Amino acid sequence: MAHLQLLLCIVFLLVKVKGNKNDIAVRLMDGKTPNKGRVEVRYKGTWGTICNEEWDIWDAYVVCHMLNYSKAVTATTASVKGTAHIWLKELDCFGSQESIDQCRYVGWGNTGGCNHSRDAGVVCGNAIHVNVRLVNGKTPNEGRVEVRYNDTWGTICNDGYWDIQDAYVVCHMLNYSKAVTATTASIKGTGPIWLNGLGCLGYEESIDQCRHAGWGNTSGCDHSRDAGVICGNLTSEETAIEVRLVGDQNHTGKVEIKYNGTWGVVCDWSRWWDIRDAHVICRMLGYKAAEHAIRFIEGETPTRMLMYSVACNGREKSIAECYHLGWWSIHSWCSNKDLVGVVCQTNEDPPPVQVRLAGGRSAISGRLEVSYHGQWGTVCNVGWDMKDAEVVCRMLGYPGVQEYNTTNFTHVKGIIWLMFVGCTGREASIADCSHIGWGNTICYHSQDVGVTCKMASSSAPRFIVSGETHGSPYTTAMLVFNSSTTDKERNITKAFQITITKLEVSSLNCYRSSIKVNHSYVTAEILGSSLVGNFTIGDGNYYHGYYNVPLEPGSTYRVFVRTVITAHNGGNNYGEAANATFTTRVKTCIGYFWSKIGQNIFSTAYQNIHTY
């Protein structure tokens, strides 16, 4: 017997989350039975505990689901202290996450103030098979809710916790599509009162999977408070709903639903939207399943809110069958900043993750944007540090970081892809860093992170823009490089990159004008060893894969030329850039006076060394 007790003490359950970059796994240690004990988590190959600060039943549910139990019975403090690392504290799960690293927390190892006397523990369990029925209703779809436990029928107490989410679970167990109302039964029951304190999320397959006070633990209840329900099936309008994704890719984007002829969006202010809901949407669109649920999208334009607090079990044929708070019944706190989206699974490999800096004052500084599955989005600054920025700047071809968290950029709307990014600084891509999941964020765009990278040490090339060209005087311009600078740079420079920006100049009066800057494009990349004195912009040829687009007559442009230096890892580092502004000749003029001016309108407005 002593040997058996010792065996039970050292037995632990171990589950690894497949595909997790941090090799996350959980186990229960030093419990009297395999389903209980101190919670330990493996992070980057090392086991540690979880501090019980803010530890609750919803955190326990995630741990128990990871261990293949169907529910958590109790969230506790471990009776036997752990040793070594304390990995997490202030864990904040909703109960539906697939792994604890998808929950909110303050960072791996950031557990100041905790010690092993506060190690979190759990008691897990499996739901038992129970039946439910509706009794004494005017129609078969309504009545007093009764549940059979230990072969005896009894009621559920409406103790103030009984609500529409609990009703949805009961109605789904009875094969109805939805719950219409959670009520108090009009006719009292008899016999035992089996449950009170029921706390379902709406997607559970059985009421025993919901949080409750325990079978028969119903002191303070009487049959005047028996729970009732009205169940129902989808209406013709609900059966006919359509879904679509709004974004750059067919399989990724913001969810919109058409109900009764009007398109609307889904609000997730409560942050319940998860992979189960995404599975239902993707299957409605003809995909096999979802890859990610996107929890935060700020809409580009205001759109009418259709659904709120959606909770699916993932097997529904339509989003209309999932628990929600009613069509067009939206909480006042919902806004166009709290919309949801999905990434559906496809048979094609997604394009590589890309990064860019946008909305800043120069090319080396701005709002960090990440392209995932071909869809651009931002990164939340929560948990962001210098090592994360080092990976981003290296991806962009810069040798280092000047400022890892800048706020000097314009704000945008759309998807926030990442938060709690954890890079070591050595990764080749931000996709290789740890994070809590693509689209699994709780940030607003006011928390978007910006980065300023460090230029390569190479100085900018010197040049002027000449009115003499080797092509059409209306669609080309000549760059004349300083020969001494070119000779000096040629041996250490991989290439010179030439970028063009078209400017829209509007006259305000005789002395002032306004300038609107359009998007830039790379028009040529010239190998350093090939660069001689002059280069013609707009000649229609290809240079190192870039098309040298002909310019438009009578238009104002700004040209940037920067050096491209081979980095130590074989990638590119970009040096400082020189720029100049010029205007192409006007092709047709009215009158001799304007014709004479048109002949001389080509000019260099200014030229300087500009870091960008």
DSSP track, 204-219: -SSGGGSB-S-TT--T
pLDDT band at 14 (very low <50, low <70, confident <90, very high): very low
DSSP 8-state class, residue 426 = -
* pLDDT recorded at residue 587: 66
Q: Are 93 and 61 in contact, with CB atoms under 8 Å apart?
A: yes
Q: What is the pTM of this model?
A: 0.69
CATH architecture of 131-232: Roll (3.10)
Q: What is the mean pLDDT of residues 117-133?
A: 91
Say which residues have a Cβ less than 8 Å from residue 139's Cβ, sequence separation at least 6.
none
Residue among 47, 18, 52 nearest 60 (CA):
52
Q: What is the mean pLDDT of residues 490-501?
A: 72
Q: Are 77 and 118 in contact, with CB atoms under 8 Å apart?
A: yes
Cα–Cα distance, 283 to 239 (Å, whole number): 15
Structure tokens at 247: 């974004």
Q: Where is average pLDDT lowest: 258-262, 459-463, 481-485?
A: 481-485
Cα–Cα distance, 278 to 265 (Å, whole number): 14
E strands, 126-239, in order: 131-135, 142-149, 152-156, 178-184, 193-195, 227-232
* pLDDT recorded at residue 1: 38
% the chain with pLDDT above 90: 40
Question: How many CB atoms are closer than 10 A to CB 457?
Answer: 12
* pLDDT recorded at residue 7: 34
pLDDT band at 470 (very low <50, low <70, confident <90, very high): low
Average pLDDT of the chain to the nearest whole number? 82
Q: Are 553 and 475 in contact, with CB atoms under 8 Å apart?
A: yes
> What are the tens digits of pLDDT across the range 378-401?
999 988 999 999 999 988 888 889
Structure tokens at 204: 């559970």
More confident position, 113 or 588: 113
More confident position, 564 or 46: 46
Q: Answer yes or no: CATH 3.10.250.10 is held by domain 25-125.
A: yes
Domain ranges of the chain: 25-125, 131-232, 236-345, 354-454, 462-506+518-584
Structure tokens at 415: 């998807």
Q: Look at the alpha carbons of 611, 419, 410, 516 in this order and tell me if their dihedral is positive or negative.
A: positive
* pLDDT recorded at residue 338: 84
* pLDDT recorded at residue 272: 78
Count Cβ atoms within 10 A of the Cβ of residue 2 and give its class: 0-12 exposed, 13-18 middle, 19 or more buried: exposed
Cα–Cα distance, 473 to 133 (Å, whole number): 86
Q: How many CA atoms lie within 13 A of 132 on its CB side?
A: 31
Q: Which fold has domain 354-454?
A: Mac-2 Binding Protein (3.10.250)
Residue 303 has pLDDT above 50, yes or no: yes
More confident position, 2 or 548: 548
* pLDDT recorded at residue 17: 37
* pLDDT recorded at residue 257: 94
Q: CA angle, 538 as apex, 536 and 542 as ends, to 5°?
A: 90
* pLDDT recorded at residue 505: 62
Strand, coil or helix: 497? strand
Residue 491 has pLDDT above 50, yes or no: no
Q: How many CA atoms lie within 13 A of 276 on its CB side?
A: 20
For the ranges 308-312, 493-497, 528-532, the one whose mean pLDDT is highest: 308-312
Question: How many CB atoms are closer than 10 A to CB 160?
Answer: 9
Q: What is the mean pLDDT of residues 421-433?
A: 91
Residue 94 has pLDDT above 50, yes or no: yes
Task: Give the helix ranges, DSSP H, for 31-118.
Answer: 57-66
pLDDT band at 530 (very low <50, low <70, confident <90, very high): low
Cα–Cα distance, 186 to 248 (Å, whole number): 53
Q: Are 80 and 30 in contact, with CB atoms under 8 Å apart?
A: yes
Q: Look at the alpha carbons of 161, 163, 165, 169 in this order and tell me if their dihedral is positive or negative.
A: positive
The percent of the chain in helix, strand and coil, each rounded to the nearest 5, is 15, 40, 45
Question: How many CB atoms are closer than 10 A to CB 433?
Answer: 21
Pick the CATH number of 236-345 from 3.40.50.800, 3.30.420.40, 3.10.250.10, 3.40.50.300: 3.10.250.10
> What are the tens digits of pLDDT across the range 235-283?
999 999 999 999 888 899 999 999 999 998 998 876 778 888 999 999 9
Q: Where is average pLDDT lowest: 188-202, 254-268, 356-370, 587-601?
A: 587-601
Residue 594 has pLDDT above 90, yes or no: no
Residue 528 has pLDDT above 80, yes or no: no
> What are the tens digits of pLDDT across the range 185-237?
999 999 999 998 888 888 888 998 888 888 888 888 999 999 999 999 999 99
* pLDDT recorded at residue 239: 93
Residue 606 has pLDDT above 60, yes or no: no
Q: How many residues does the chain have?
A: 612
Q: Are 463 and 479 in contact, with CB atoms under 8 Å apart?
A: yes
